[in-house]
Structure 1
Amino acid sequence: MAKTGGFANFTTGEKKTGAVLLPTHFTTASQANKEGKQFGNLVRTYAAKNSKVMDENNQSLMDITDAEMNLTANDSFGYSSRFSATGDEHPLFDGQTLNMTDEQMDRLEDRLNTAQKNGNVLHEMAFSMRGDWLVENGLYDPETKQLDQDKLKRAEQHIVQDLFDKGGAQPLGESPDDVIWFGAVHQDTDHLNMHIWYVKESKETRPSMLHQSGEPKGVIDFNVKKQAESKFRYELESDATKIKRADVYEAVGNYRSSIKNDTLSKLDETHRYTADLQKIFEVLPKDLRGRWKVGNTDSLVTDDASRMAPANQQMNQLIDKMLTHELKDDYQVFQATAQKMDGMMTETHGQQHQGQLKWSEK
């Protein structure tokens, strides 16, 4: 992530990357030991007052443009531990406080070093937020350079438990106090970065949480990570953003219902499609009457082994014909409204991958 040369000089006007990205790294205790580093050093860098000391363990976070990056182990340690990036005298926060005291940081340092002695894996994550998204949702004022850090910290406090409980085969902690975690807000890069570190404190002995080598697993379920990212983003969105999206969803739903109702009415009112309906009826499996399965999924439409496929194929052809004629205008309005959501999805999630269906296409 590029440095901006000052606090809260976040880049704005970007639309190609996701509003909130969540890259993830892991540092094993064995790797930290090999490099002669301690997990607790992460706390020291924030408690220190000398920026030269603070940057000793730092590696800048790479510029992430793909929210669906592979979750691979990385040998970096404390990849964004820079006191100079926060500007706060007490920049660290956890589940109990938004600004940890020196005493709390000393206790945190000791616990992190205990986790390392027990051979555990340090999870390192970064919520990377686009500047214009922060502005749109009232979290950042580019004129005054004011950032609502408290709201950001609370949002992270509210989603971390799911990462601990659902990210692996079993909850990371074996008791409520068995997971150590802390976070920090960094304001000296082109995107705002909120970092979180967490690790199990007691020695891991559960087979499902261990590799065959006996080393604890460093892994986060991809779906759990995406859900945490979504919950974090939703909590921080302004009412205006939520209402705007809800209005489009509602309009699309209304147009869809209207088209369905009009379709049935027109089938009742005209004999134009009698032949098409007759074809559908003729290919329906008579012995399955009362158990006919309709739809447009691959298994029902294109799978030759499905006995319902011929009827569903004929039905799709009839629907296409109606959308091309009687329902053409209604369908075009429906499509145009659905495509508004495509633009909103791009602003939220970034550019789509090649071959990925847009929201309107689904």
Structure 2
Amino acid sequence: MSGVNQSPGVVVVSKFISFNSKTFSSYIDYMDREEAKRNKSFNRYSLYNDYMGNPKKTTGLFNKDTDLMNDNEKLDAKELFVKAQKNKSILWQDVFSFDNKWLEKQGLYNPRTKELDEKKVKDAVRKSIGFAVEKKCIAETCVWNGAIHFNTDNIHVHVAICEPNPTIQRGKRTQKTLDIMKSKFVNELLDSKENFLDINNIIRKDIVDSKKNSKIKEDKKLKELTRNVIRNLPKDKRHWHYGYNTMNDAKKYLDEMTKYYIDTYKKDEFKELILKLDKQEDVFKETYGVGQRSKFKDYKENKIDELYKRMGNAFLTEIKAYIKREDELDKIVNQKKINKLYSNKSSKLIISKKELKNIEKALSNEFDSIKNMDYYQRLQYKIDNGINI
């Protein structure tokens, strides 16, 4: 394929061995066999670290916190690895290998001076290994160190991980974990997160959020499509979300709204989004290799789907607010109708002469009763005080 590397720019391989394994993984094949012959005890863990720090093959060991471990730090690390083997820990071995031409193209390697941006490579390793040990729940119990090697045609990084006091006995990682490890490594290495951020900003801010500030409320086409959405909404308001299956009838009109809105108001922003998505797809092709198209083929489509989903939900938010306002107005109107109805009934209320006479009689009797009570109280007062009646 023209313009695209047939082989991947980055390869990440992960394996593990048990403390008593009789066979070495492909990583151990890199070790210095002459040194292995001299080492009668053949301690794999310490030997691996000796190889990792071999100055003829690497610029030195690094770990989670240090870019270049000193002699004391290396000695401490070796003792921890020996302790890990004695305590029957698993030894995880990871290799991050590069196509040097890919490194050159990304501005990470100068083939003339043989200079590599080691800081960036080490930080990318930290990001990847950090995820791996978190996923295994050994971030607080493991130790690891790594080394960049230049002794082959492809620059590569070896990493060794173990637990001095083991907490788990299963070393296998899932394919999903391995894929994410590589993704985090590549994204950190290429600062792809910046491109991702640009893509997300275009989707969320430049296209979706800016709709709130745009003068489209009088757009007749959008009004028509909005009415079509409302007519096809499911009865249950809890289902008024773009992703619900019950929204399928309304969703086609929401998608039409999004397409019309983009074509009419956000054509330039959408064009910029497509350019950035294509650029990111090219990076994926060169990084993962054309044979791994499944790793990136859906990225562009997924991002466009995400845009339509966000736009759909944004339109639905406005539709919900509109319907809520209409419901409240209906309640006010209905209440006014009810009040008017009662008011009309009151004004037409007719009391017969007989009913009026009965009311007057009852009031008169009650008044007489009060007067009589008052008279009785005055009479009792005179008797009690010896006053002549």
TM tier relative to shorter chain: 0.5 to 0.7
Q: For 1:189, which of 152, 155, 161 is the aligned residue? A: 152
Residue of structure 2 in register with 1:93 after alignment: 62
SS of equivalent to 1:29: coil
* Cα distance change, pair 347–270 in 1 and its aligned pair in 2 (3 A): same
Residue of structure 2 in register with 1:219 after alignment: 172
One-letter amino acid matched to 2:207 = R
Q: How far did residue 120 of structure 1 move?
A: 1.8
One-letter amino acid matched to 1:29 = F
Instruction: Provide the C-alpha distance between the structure 2 equivalents of 1:160 and 1:354, rounded to a whole number of angstroms.
Output: 20
* Cα distance change, pair 229–340 in 1 and its aligned pair in 2 (3 A): closer
Instruction: Provide the C-alpha distance between the structure 1 equivalents of 2:283 and 2:120, rounded to a whole number of angstroms.
Output: 23
Residue of structure 1 in register with 2:138 after alignment: 171
Unaligned stretches of 5+ in structure 1?
1-12, 46-50, 58-77, 210-215
One-letter amino acid matched to 1:27 = I
Q: For 1:333, which of 271, 280, 301 is the aligned residue? A: 271
Q: Mapping of 1:99-138 within 5 angstroms?
A: 99-100=68-69, 105=74, 107-138=76-107
* Cα distance change, pair 173–53 in 1 and its aligned pair in 2 (3 A): farther
Residue of structure 2 in register with 1:202 after alignment: 165
Q: How far did residue 356 of structure 1 move?
A: 4.1
Residue of structure 2 in register with 1:24 after alignment: 14
Instruction: Provide the C-alpha distance between the structure 1 equivalents of 2:7 and 2:213, rounded to a whole number of angstroms.
Output: 40
Are 1:269 and 2:215 counterparts?
A: no
Q: For 2:34, which of 31, 39, 53 is the aligned residue? A: 53
One-letter amino acid matched to 1:309 = N
Residue of structure 1 in register with 2:240 after alignment: 293
Larger radius of gyration between Structure 1 and Structure 2: 2
The question of whether the paired residues in 1 share the 8 Å contact of 2:49 and 2:78 is answered with: no
Q: Mapping of 1:1-16 within 5 angstroms?
A: 15-16=5-6
Q: Cα RMSD (Å) of the superposition?
A: 4.7
Unaligned stretches of 5+ in structure 2?
39-46, 304-389
The answer to which of 243-252 and 109-118 deviates more is 243-252
Q: How far did residue 25 of structure 1 move?
A: 0.4
Q: How far did residue 281 of structure 1 move?
A: 2.5
Figure out how many residues of one structure are paired with residues of the other and give that number. 287
Q: Flag the structure with more relative contact order, 1 or 2, with Cα contacts below 8 A and sequence separation at least 6.
A: 1
Residues 230-283 of structure 1, C-alpha deviation per residue, up to 9 Å, x if partnerless? 454454446xx7766655655565663499579982x73325973x54443323
Residue of structure 2 in register with 1:284 after alignment: 233
SS of equivalent to 1:92: strand
Q: Mapping of 1:300-315 within 5 angstroms?
A: 300=244, 303=245, 306=246, 308-315=247-254
* Cα distance change, pair 252–140 in 1 and its aligned pair in 2 (3 A): same
The question of whether the paired residues in 2 share the 8 Å contact of 1:181 and 1:196 is answered with: yes
Instruction: Provide the C-alpha distance between the structure 1 equivalents of 2:272 and 2:119, rounded to a whole number of angstroms.
Output: 41
* Cα distance change, pair 356–26 in 1 and its aligned pair in 2 (3 A): same
Instruction: Provide the C-alpha distance between the structure 2 equivalents of 1:148 and 1:335, rounded to a whole number of angstroms.
Output: 30
The question of whether the paired residues in 2 share the 8 Å contact of 1:26 and 1:218 is answered with: yes
Name the structure where helix makes up a greater proportion of residues.
2
SS of equivalent to 1:115: helix
**Percent same amino acid among aligned pairs?**
21
Q: How far did residue 26 of structure 1 move?
A: 0.8
SS of equivalent to 1:93: strand
One-letter amino acid matched to 2:220 = T
The question of whether the paired residues in 1 share the 8 Å contact of 2:18 and 2:88 is answered with: yes
Residues 82-103 of structure 1, C-alpha deviation per residue, up to 9 Å, x if partnerless? 6799635873333465455566
* Cα distance change, pair 269–124 in 1 and its aligned pair in 2 (3 A): same
Are 1:342 and 2:342 counterparts?
A: no
* Cα distance change, pair 283–347 in 1 and its aligned pair in 2 (3 A): same
The question of whether the paired residues in 2 share the 8 Å contact of 1:182 and 1:196 is answered with: yes
* Cα distance change, pair 125–323 in 1 and its aligned pair in 2 (3 A): same
Residue of structure 1 in register with 2:315 after alignment: none
Residue of structure 2 in register with 1:256 after alignment: 207
One-letter amino acid matched to 1:293 = W
Length-normalised TM-score, structure 2: 0.56
